[in-house]
Amino acid sequence: MEETKKSREIDVLKLLKDILSEKKLLCKFVFVSAIIGVIVALSLQKEYTSQVVLAPELTSGGLGMSGTLSDMASSFGIDLGAMKGGVDAIYPEIYPDVLASSDFIITLFDVPVKLKKGKETTYYKHIREDSRPAFWEYPKIWIMEAIKKKEKPKKPGEGVNRFQLTKDEDGVYGLVRKSIHCLVDKKTSVITVSLTDHDPLVAAIMVDTIQNRLQRYIIDYRTKKARNDFEYYKRLYDESREQYKKAQRLYASFSDANQDVIMASYKAKLEDLENDMQLKYNIYTQMSAQMQSAKAKIQERTPAFTAIQGASVPLRASSTPRALIVLLFMFLGCVADGLWILYGRDWFANRKKGKETKETKESDQ
């Protein structure tokens, strides 16, 4: 084993000596690799990432589990809050699915954005017009354009049909979906939402918009039933109020028209009108109380979001630095030089020699 290990070390040292002995060849490999690295680095657009950190308010059920037990369960990826009664169907763990849904992303297409260089446009047009693909993607784009079927152009002012997206809209949807990232801490339920874009100002604008849209989406969901109840009781309140006012006017009109009448039938009629007015007044007050209760329920069900970190314009690119890409290609050039010296040169030499031998034999025959 010691001899094998020693021989391997000698082989490695010999390879390094062979590489260093042919410095011109090494310089050629490194130079060509550096040029390729520069071309690749310049063809890739810089990417900037902006993020927000939110702490949402969570509903608690009636089981009253201790915080220690909940923390212990969270450390194993178990959410005891989801087992309690009265917990919403939309909880922090599925927020990433909400942000990745087409219904949510399509609403971002019309968001107005402003680029760092001053251009104002919509997010959809920015993705389509300002994104520059890498040079190796152009053949694929040309092929796709050549085989793509012509679609019927949309009419002016016609919006996006969520039920049937065009190929361009579906492509933009895919790019936006890849650029949005949402992480949820299972233990603390802290939400980190980030968006990556080629323009730092657009990244900050869009992640702030996503934060507001997500909050509005959760608030609308959490308060949907309460708002429906409020609208229902408000409709009943308006109807009962109108009926009470009508009964009040009828009672006052009958009473004013028969002030000097002392007939028993008049008194009975007046008493019936008064009882009817009182009944409608009772219904009116009950509906008023129900409406106020439903209105208070909306506020009670509205969750509060604490912004731990707000959106800001990133100053540094989040993509791989171009200098590092060039250095990586130079390293690959060194590896390629070693493989050429170790295997490639002998393989080509043997193949060439075998070909010459075969041609000699054929000529002799």
| Angle made by CA atoms 345, 347, 351, in degrees to the nearest 5 | 120
Whether residue 6 is predicted with pLDDT greater than 60 in this model: the reply is: no
Structure tokens at 221: 């969901």
Q: Which residues contact 43 (CB under 8 A, 6 or more apart)?
A: 134, 135, 136
Asked if the model's pLDDT at residue 2 lies above 60, the reply is: no
CA angle 20, 24, 27 (to 5 degrees): 85
Q: Nearest to residue 212, comparing CAs of 352, 332, 338, 107?
A: 107
Q: Average the pLDDT over each of 124-128, 202-206, 207-211, 269-273 and give the range with the smallest value.
A: 269-273
Mean pLDDT of 190-208: 92
- Tell which residue, 167, 166, 160, has the closest CA to residue 103: 160
* Amino acid (1-letter code) at residue 195: L
Confidence of residue 15 (pLDDT cuts 50, 70, 90): low
- 48-151+159-223+304-322 carries CATH number 3.30.450: no
Supply the pLDDT for residue 299: 87
pLDDT digit string, tens, across residues 40-91: 888 888 899 999 998 876 654 444 444 444 454 454 445 544 444 444 556 7
Task: State residue 150's pLDDT score.
Answer: 63
Tell me, what amino acid is at 38? V
Residue from 337, 338, 244, 313 nearest 282 by CA:
244
> Residue 157 has what pLDDT?
56
| 8 Å CB contact between 100 and 180 | yes
pLDDT level of residue 137 (50, 70, 90 thresholds): confident
Contact 115, 121 (CB under 8 A): yes
Question: What number is the average pLDDT over the span 26-52?
Answer: 89
Say what the pLDDT of residue 204 is. Answer: 93
Of 357 and 301, which is predicted with more confidence? 301
337 — phi, psi (to 5°)? -65, -45
Mean pLDDT of the chain: 79
Sign of CA dihedral 30, 31, 35, 38: positive
More confident of the two residues 301 and 350: 301
Give the per-residue pLDDT at 289. Answer: 93
Specify the pLDDT at position 113: 92
Of all residues in the chain, the percent with pLDDT exceeding 90 is: 24
* In the chain, domain spans: 2-43+324-357, 48-151+159-223+304-322, 228-298
pLDDT band at 326 (very low <50, low <70, confident <90, very high): very high
> In the predicted model, is pLDDT for residue 349 greater than 60?
yes
Q: Answer with the residue of higher pLDDT: 221 or 365.
A: 221
Summarize the confidence of residues 160-181 as an average pLDDT. 84
Q: Taking a C-beta distance cutoff of 8 angstroms, is the pair 184, 190 a contact? A: yes
What is the average per-residue pLDDT within 154-169? 71
> By percentage, how much of the chain surpasses pLDDT 70?
77
- Report helix, strand or coil for 112: strand
Find residue 120's DSSP bridge partners: 114
Is the CB of residue 87 less than 8 Å from the CB of residue 81? yes
Per-residue model confidence (pLDDT) at position 68: 46
Residue 24 banded pLDDT, cuts 50, 70, 90? confident
DSSP E strand stretches across the chain: 48-56, 112-114, 120-122, 180-184, 191-197, 305-309
Length of the chain: 365
Question: What is the longest distance spanned by two Cα atoms in the chain?
Answer: 148
Are 91 and 184 spatial neighbours (Cβ–Cβ below 8 Å)?
A: no
**What are the tens digits of pLDDT across the range 230-282?**
999 999 999 999 999 998 888 888 777 776 666 777 778 878 888 988 999 99
